[in-house]
């Protein structure tokens, strides 16, 4: 627009931000950058240390170079990662975690999804009481149920050796919080979809699998991510329920339980420990970044009726 024309217009003012607003924005961004660096320092330190030998790590301790890779020996930067995979077999524990997580995700979607659908769409006696119990159980700490759960799995079910894997999968397959998420999401699905499916001859199970689940990709992705993170990061329960591997046997421990075993091995270096921590962190980072859009969408939709 011509500046001369602007001057001729009555009461016309350029939309300029006040100086105080600009100063606030600058301070906001500076503080945000500083806080981000503070939270990133442990990760930067972990990555840098994972590329160093024990002597290089000792030489850099207490200086700014502890946050920098060892540039003098870049050819051996991945030696710690090679050692973690070949000498300590961390890939076996990672494979266990992927297998456990995959089974738990499928069972969570089926069991908790069906439970959430029943609570959201069907009418039956005692529904309000059951809904109250679900909300109440969400706030109960998981730690309070570990001892009773251990008694059930080890005494009543009598699981031993490789069968104890069932004790890892079954308890993780039922989640009150996931039932609540499914229930809230399904309440937002228009009933017209169900009515149309029933007119076409679908029963309740047919409506759930053919109509409800295909419309529930955001909440399924959200539950899948939470299940994966829960199984991947689980340490206490697998350490209690799984037997220690014998000589030459395939270990049943998931990756977090394996970290304690690996770190207690005599002669392991600090760089190898940090490399194992990096390996265990990468899948969670990738999964969360890939499903972030669905997590936000799933929570936003599930929260409409909260």
At 161 the pLDDT is 65
At 99 the pLDDT is 94
Identify which of 211, 215, 224, 143 has the alpha carbon closest to the alpha carbon of residue 178.
Answer: 224
First-to-last C-alpha distance (Å) of the chain? 49
At 15 the pLDDT is 56
How far apart are the C-alpha atoms of 180 and 138, rounded to whole Å?
9
How far apart are the C-alpha atoms of 40 and 47, rounded to whole Å?
11
At 18 the pLDDT is 67
Helices (DSSP H) in the chain: which residue ranges? 3-8, 19-49, 54-60, 79-86, 90-107, 113-121, 127-138, 146-151, 165-172, 176-187, 191-199, 204-207, 217-233, 236-241, 255-263, 270-302
How far apart are the C-alpha atoms of 18 and 27, rounded to whole Å?
15
Over residues 36-78, the pLDDT tens digits come to 888 888 888 888 888 888 888 888 877 787 888 776 776 677 8
Q: Which residue has the tokens 């998981």?
A: 142
- What is the three-class DSSP state of 302? helix
- What is the three-class DSSP state of 80? helix
Identify which of 182, 277, 188 has the alpha carbon closest to the alpha carbon of residue 226.
Answer: 182
How far apart are the C-alpha atoms of 239 and 260, rounded to whole Å?
10
At 249 the pLDDT is 77
Residue 66 DSSP label = G
Longest dimension (CA), the chain: 91
Long-range pairs for 79-84: beta carbons < 8 A, 24 or more residues apart: 79/53, 80/50, 80/51, 80/52, 80/269, 80/271, 80/272, 80/274, 80/275, 81/50, 81/275, 81/278, 81/279, 83/272, 83/275, 84/262, 84/272, 84/275, 84/276, 84/279
At 207 the pLDDT is 86
* Domains of the chain and any CATH numbers: 15-81 (no CATH), 88-305 (1.10.3720.10)
How far apart are the C-alpha atoms of 142 and 236, rounded to whole Å?
11
Stretches in the chain below the pLDDT threshold 70: 1-21, 71, 74-75, 157, 160-163, 296-306
């Amino acid at each position: 627009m011509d500046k001369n024309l602007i001057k001729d217009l009555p009461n016309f003012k350029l939309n300029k931000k006040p100086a105080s607003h600009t100063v606030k924005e600058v301070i906001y961004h500076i503080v945000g950058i500083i806080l981000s660096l503070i939270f990133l320092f442990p990760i930067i330190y972990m990555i840098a240390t994972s590329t160093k030998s024990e002597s290089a790590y000792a030489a850099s301790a207490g200086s700014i170079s502890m946050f920098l890779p060892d540039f003098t020996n870049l050819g051996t930067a991945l030696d710690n990662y090679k050692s973690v995979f070949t000498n300590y077999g961390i890939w076996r524990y990672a494979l266990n975690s992927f297998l456990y997580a995959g089974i738990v995700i499928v069972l969570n979607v089926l069991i908790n999804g069906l439970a959430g659908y029943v609570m959201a769409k069907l009418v039956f006696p005692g529904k309000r009481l059951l809904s109250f119990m679900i909300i109440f159980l969400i706030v109960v700490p998981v730690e309070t149920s570990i001892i009773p759960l251990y008694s059930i799995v080890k005494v009543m079910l009598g699981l031993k050796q490789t069968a104890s894997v069932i004790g890892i999968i079954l308890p993780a397959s039922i989640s009150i919080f996931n039932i609540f998420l499914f229930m809230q999401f399904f309440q937002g699905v228009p009933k017209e979809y169900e009515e149309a499916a029933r007119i076409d001859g679908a029963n309740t199970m047919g409506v759930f699998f053919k109509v409800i689940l295909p419309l529930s990709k955001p909440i399924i992705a959200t539950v899948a991510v939470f299940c994966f993170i829960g199984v991947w990061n689980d340490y206490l329960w697998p350490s209690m329920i799984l037997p220690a591997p014998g000589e030459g046997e395939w270990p049943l421990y998931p990756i977090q339980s394996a970290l304690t075993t690996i770190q207690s091995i005599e002669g392991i270096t600090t760089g190898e420990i940090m490399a194992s921590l990096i390996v265990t962190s990468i899948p969670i980072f990738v999964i969360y970044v890939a499903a972030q859009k669905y997590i936000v969408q799933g929570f936003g939709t599930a929260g409409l009726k909260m």
